[in-house]
Amino acid sequence: MTRLARQPSLIRDVAERAGVSPATVSRVLTGSAAVREPTRARILAAIDELRYRRNRVASNLRRQQVQMIGLVISDIENPHFTQMVRAAEDAAYMQGYRVLLCNTDEDPAKQRDYLGVLAAERVAGAIISPTEADAPEIGELIDLGTFVVAFDRAVADRRADAVLPANTEGARRGTEHLLGGGHESIGFVGGPAGIQTATERLLGYEEAMSAAGLQPRIAQGNFRVEGGRRAAEELIREGATALLVANNMMTVGVLQALRQGGRRVSADVALVSFDDPPWAELTDPPLTTLAQPVRAMAASAMELLMQRLEGRGKRRQCRVFDFELRHRNSCCYPKES
Amino acid sequence: MTRLARQPSLIRDVAERAGVSPATVSRVLTGSAAVREPTRARILAAIDELRYRRNRVASNLRRQQVQMIGLVISDIENPHFTQMVRAAEDAAYMQGYRVLLCNTDEDPAKQRDYLGVLAAERVAGAIISPTEADAPEIGELIDLGTFVVAFDRAVADRRADAVLPANTEGARRGTEHLLGGGHESIGFVGGPAGIQTATERLLGYEEAMSAAGLQPRIAQGNFRVEGGRRAAEELIREGATALLVANNMMTVGVLQALRQGGRRVSADVALVSFDDPPWAELTDPPLTTLAQPVRAMAASAMELLMQRLEGRGKRRQCRVFDFELRHRNSCCYPKES
DNA sequence: CTGAAAGCGCTTACAG
DNA sequence: CTGAAAGCGCTTACAG
């Protein structure tokens, strides 16, 4: 395997050229100690001439720390996570941390695998939206010294901080909004069993329906497009005149099902959808959604991580964020404020 | 800074417990040499009991290779890159490589910075969609032994492989499609100057217009939503009855401008848009687009990288992919096949 | 098949 | 302010 086009220069080469010891070069590189000006200038010049690039792998090993954050999410193609990753990457970049992207596809095995990778890489921190909240690998990662923040969904390990949405409350508000529109046959396009987000949103829906003395109608989706389509077809067949959809991916499927079935959004079937993807206002009609402040939540998660990394913040923190009901036109008669 | 909740066990601990040398433990870890079965079993047991996790940082330093791929793109929130990242991550995961995400925001300084990071981390490979095609850092990265594949846009360094879209040809076809619809006043919502994608798409548009003996009408956007909105407003003001839009982000802005100006897509202004984001068929009417096989392109880029990493494939490769015109309903009179 | 020893490229007490 | 030396946790010729 011919790998190196040119032998990269080492700290030793720089030291030699500048007529100092490697230790001194390292000092100007890290800024860990003062170096006399003329010496410093010679070193900087040597670095430049030799095109020296410090080897981070060696540096990380010696310093026993890796400036890297693992982002464990189910799918980057879900706009919810796309936005989260974007905001997290921004914050990480500003703090000098790198981002390792880990897509789990809601597959517990893949999640375990990736958690193992993060442990092996000895990353400084991880933001995890768990598929399997009680995977033992999460605890092992924390044992190793990695700080963990649960995002979107809680993890079982009590040492992890958390940034969570107020799902139950959000689902209740969404349902009440549809109830306020005069609907009685409101269906719920739910997520997969076992996923916290899905369970909590279902609960809020059931509470609101029960409070209104109405019969809940639930079809289980899988947080993906086809699952949403199938669930919507089922609920429409059963006569639902309104739908609360538990995430934005399934909403795409719901819209496909409605279009295919020749039903108009709002006029025939009212819609309130969780998440607020960029396309929510491009559909016909624009969608009424339950929006999470995803960017703020991601920034918050990074902030918690940074606090830990700086040794501040002893107690476990759990921050909960409310949904915002964005009134657009997929529901008739918006009576709520 | 209290970092470690528990001292992680080392290869030395495992060796001690299994009654062998660290070298032998390493052999079963890497599978680099045969180890007698009973010994091997004892080692595996010790690894399990001590919850040993190999330290990849040390391993990487010693082996002089890092199983990591850098993904340098302008913005993960652009669905074009979201899809690319997803496909690349998939392929990388299957091959046992990690993915480092680097958003440049079309900012040359940020790109340079991130290229420096990749060099310092000594990543095995990088897929780069350059903002600055001739940044010297690209050559330096290659000098260091990192294999580079240009994605979406070429890089100046001739040692990099490339996976590119046939932009000029695509723009020509999009323009001809609008011409075929009977339009004569066709505007082009272009991208930022200096970005190859933008330049080539502009060229294809100009060629098609010139071949039809028509006057080109160009408004420069910036590949972002607001740029698209401004450009569309300008072109509509000048009387354009059809628009070719150079990327999907700007299309969002174009749709906003049309809606705000009270113009209907297709009926008032025909639209063909580059890229085929997931929401293209959710708009009213669904959008006719020029779709790239993004997943296949990303897979192709990873394949080129893997070939290099395995020492195969000597000659520089450049693979060009055609656009597919997806006929939907944002153009009247689709005469083309 | 297994072990002792060297070394990957840095950083950091320790001494001066 | 600077240098010599040790060591981070692995892997890999080399020897047996």
In tens, the pLDDT along A11-42 reads 999 999 999 999 999 999 998 888 888 899 99
Residue B149 is inside which H or E element, if any?
Answer: strand B147-151
- For the CA atoms of A156, A157, A160, A161, what is the dihedral angle to 10 degrees? 40
Q: Which ranges of chain A does DSSP label H, i.e. alpha helix?
A: 11-18, 22-30, 37-49, 56-63, 79-94, 108-121, 136-143, 167-180, 196-211, 225-237, 248-260, 294-309
> Can you give the pLDDT at residue B7?
77
Cβ pair A140:B252 closer than 8 A: no
> Can you give the pLDDT at residue A314?
77
> Can you give the pLDDT at residue B332?
65
Which residues in chain B come in under a pLDDT of 70?
Answer: 1-6, 313, 332-337
Chains A–B, number of C-beta pairs less than 8 Å apart: 150
> Can you give the pLDDT at residue A1?
37
Is A244 in a helix, a strand, or coil? strand
**To the nearest whole angstrom, how far is the Cα of A21 from the nearest Cα of chain B?**
21
Cβ pair A86:B103 closer than 8 A: yes
- Both tokens of residue B33? 């040499």
pTM of the model: 0.92
- Residue type at position A78: N
> Can you give the pLDDT at residue A331?
81
Per-residue pLDDT tens over the stretch B276-296: 998 998 888 899 999 999 999
Does A185 contact chain B (CB < 8 Å)? no
> Can you give the pLDDT at residue A2?
39
Cβ pair A57:B66 closer than 8 A: yes
Which residues in chain A come in under a pLDDT of 50?
Answer: 1-5, 334-337
> Can you give the pLDDT at residue A33?
81
Q: Give the residue whose CA sits closest to C13 at C1'.
A: A23
**To the nearest whole angstrom, how far is the Cα of B69 from the nearest Cα of chain A?**
10
Contacts 24+ apart (CB under 8 A), A2-9: A2/B311, A3/B65, A3/B145, A4/B144, A4/B145, A5/B142, A5/B143, A5/B144, A5/B145, A5/B159, A6/B143, A6/B144, A8/A52, A8/A53, A8/A55, A8/B143, A8/B144, A8/B145, A9/A50, A9/A51, A9/A52
From the list A117, A143, A279, which residue is nearest B98 (CB)? Answer: A117
> Can you give the pLDDT at residue B6?
60
Per-residue pLDDT tens over the stretch B109-132: 999 999 999 999 999 999 999 999
Q: Give the residue whose CA sits closest to C9 at C1'.
A: A58
Per-residue pLDDT tens over the stretch A100-142: 999 999 999 999 999 999 999 999 999 999 999 999 999 999 9
- For the CA atoms of B50, B54, B58, B60, what is the dihedral angle to 10 degrees? 180
**Which residues, listed in sequence order, are joined to residue B291 by a DSSP beta bridge?**
B324
Chain A contact set for B120 (CB, 8 A): 53-56
DSSP state of A275: S
B108-121 vs B136-143: helix crossing angle, rounded to 10 = 10
**Listed residue (A96, A68, A71) closest to A81, CA to CA:** A71
- For the CA atoms of B96, B100, B105, B108, what is the dihedral angle to 10 degrees? -110
Pairing of strands B288-291, B324-326: antiparallel
Per-residue pLDDT tens over the stretch B187-202: 999 999 988 999 999 9
CB A104 within 8 A of CB A152: no
Chain A contact set for B51 (CB, 8 A): 140, 143
> Can you give the pLDDT at residue A333?
52
> Can you give the pLDDT at residue A337?
37
CB B70 within 8 A of CB B100: yes
The reply to whether the CB atom of residue B257 sits less than 7 A from any atom in nucleic acid chain C is: no
d(CA A171, CA A202): 7
**To the nearest whole angstrom, how far is the Cα of A214 from the nearest Cα of chain B?**
32
Chain A contact set for B145 (CB, 8 A): 3-5, 8
d(CA B47, CA B253): 56
The reply to whether the CB atom of residue A212 sits less than 7 A from any atom in nucleic acid chain C is: no
> Can you give the pLDDT at residue A336?
40
Does A312 contact chain B (CB < 8 Å)? no
